[in-house]
Amino acid sequence: MNKYYKDLLNMMNKNEKEIDRLLIINYTNALGDMKKILKDYIIRYSDLSYSEWLQYNRLKSLEMQINNVLNDLYKINNKDINNHAFKTYEQNYFSLFYELESTYKLNLSFSMLNTDYVKKAIEYPVDGLKLSERLYSKHLHDLKIKTKACLIDNMINDRGYKVVAKKLSEISNADYKQSLRIAITEGNRLRSLARQDSYEEADKLGIGLKKKWLSTLDGKTRCLHRALDGQIKDIDKEFEVSGYTALQPRLFGVASMDVHCRCDTINVVEGINSTVRIDNETKKVIAYKNYNEWFKNRVQAKQTKIKKSYL
Most confident of 151-165, 170-184, 216-230: 170-184
Report d(CA 99, CA 5) in Å as an integer.
8
Report d(CA 211, CA 264) in Å as an integer.
10
Cα-based distances in Å from 270 to 150, 209, 292: 61, 6, 27
Cα-based distances in Å from 60 to 56, 148, 189, 192, 249: 9, 10, 40, 45, 47
Cβ atoms of 144 and 62 closer than 8 Å: no
The pLDDT value recorded for residue 306 is 60
Report d(CA 221, CA 107) in Å as an integer.
38
Q: Kindly tell me if the per-residue pLDDT of 263 is higher than 70.
A: yes
Q: Kindly tell me if the per-residue pLDDT of 277 is higher than 70.
A: no
DSSP-assigned states of every residue in 215-278 = ---STTS-HHHHHHTT-EEETTSPEEETTEEESSTT-SS-HHHHTT---EEEEEEEEE-TT--B
Average pLDDT, integer, range 14-35: 98
Count Cα neighbours of 108 within 13 Å in the Cβ-side half-sphere.
Answer: 29
For 241, phi then psi, to 5°, come to -160, 125
**What kind and span of H or E run contains 209?**
strand 207-214
Contacts of 222 by beta carbon, 8 Å cutoff, 6+ apart:
257, 261
The pLDDT value recorded for residue 302 is 82
Per residue in 220-257, pLDDT (tens digit) is 899 999 999 999 999 999 999 999 999 999 999 888 99
Coil/strand/helix, residue 159: coil
Report d(CA 276, CA 209) in Å as an integer.
13
Phi-psi label, residue 130: left if phi above 0, alpha if psi -120 to 50, beta otherwise: beta
User: Max CA-CA distance within the chain?
Assistant: 84
